């Protein structure tokens, strides 16, 4: 039987530093740090894909209601734990599909060696192959930032604070530790709140940001300003 798609609610807020200090103190009192965090945070580096017409970028800028984007992601430079991900958006809801990649597989994709993907037993790898082969999808830019992640079991809530956004300019070899990244402009701190069917009132109160509205800020779009 075909499994139904489960979308999650998503909020994004741009924060000033004083907002971060205030909300972090409230959140940390009731939520748990993600178990993968080291010293309360981790470094995320992603390689985003787009086609020659920049379809994913244009759809984001134009606010297209239903859209998707592909990326390969690793945490804290750990090449033993690399994910291929597809994020799909529908209005204010989002869902994510994920498949593990080996370091060699990730390097092959970056180098354009994709023939092996057609025979993969992972549907997401096959899908990326088809879109690279027939829709011209290709690696576009590196997006790198620091994340502070908190979780709360009721409602499957996740609150994250992202800052220090950097981009790789023309470099797409995101596994190269010598790949130079630069700050992607004067970017605010970004808070993301995600949950399943309900957002507990205690968390809703914690993340209140008076005078700051939900934003559609895109790290990928911000980094594409630089290439």
Tell me the per-residue pLDDT of 141-190, one tens digit each, with 9 for 90 and over.
Answer: 999 999 999 999 999 999 999 999 999 877 888 998 888 899 998 888 99
Residue in the structure block whose two tokens are 């009721």: 154
Closest by alpha carbon to 78, among 62, 98, 56, 101?
Answer: 101
Q: What are phi and psi of 152, to 5 degrees?
A: -145, 120
pTM for this prediction: 0.92
Helix (H, G, I), strand (E, B) or coil at 81: coil
Closest by alpha carbon to 99, among 109, 110, 117, 85?
Answer: 85
The full set of domains in the chain, from first to last, is: 8-224 (3.20.100.30)
The answer to whether residue 109 scores a pLDDT higher than 50 is: yes
The answer to whether residue 2 scores a pLDDT higher than 50 is: no
Can you tell me the distance from the alpha carbon of 156 to that of 53, in angstroms, rounded to the nearest whole number?
Answer: 36
Overall average pLDDT of the 131-149 stretch: 96
* Assigned token pair, 167: 């981009």
């Amino acid at each position: 039987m075909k499994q139904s798609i489960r979308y999650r609610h998503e909020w994004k807020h741009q924060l000033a530093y004083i907002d971060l200090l205030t909300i972090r103190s409230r959140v940390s009192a009731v939520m748990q740090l993600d178990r993968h965090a080291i010293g309360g945070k981790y470094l995320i580096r992603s390689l985003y894909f787009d086609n020659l017409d920049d379809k994913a970028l244009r759809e984001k800028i134009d606010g297209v209601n239903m859209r998707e984007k592909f990326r390969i992601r690793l945490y804290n430079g750990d090449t033993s734990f690399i994910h291929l991900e597809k994020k799909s958006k529908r209005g204010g809801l989002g869902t994510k599909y994920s498949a593990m990649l080996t370091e060699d597989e990730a390097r092959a994709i970056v180098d354009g060696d994709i023939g092996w993907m057609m025979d993969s037993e992972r549907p997401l790898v096959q899908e990326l192959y088809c879109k690279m082969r027939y829709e011209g999808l290709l690696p576009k830019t590196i997006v790198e930032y620091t994340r502070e992640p908190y979780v709360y079991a009721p409602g499957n809530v996740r609150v994250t604070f992202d800052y220090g956004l950097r981009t790789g300019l023309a470099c797409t070899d995101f596994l190269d530790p010598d790949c130079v990244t630069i700050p992607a402009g004067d970017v605010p701190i970004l808070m993301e709140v995600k949950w399943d069917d309900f957002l507990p009132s205690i968390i809703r109160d914690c993340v209140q940001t008076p005078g700051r509205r939900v934003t559609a800020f895109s790290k990928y779009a911000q980094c594409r300003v630089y290439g």
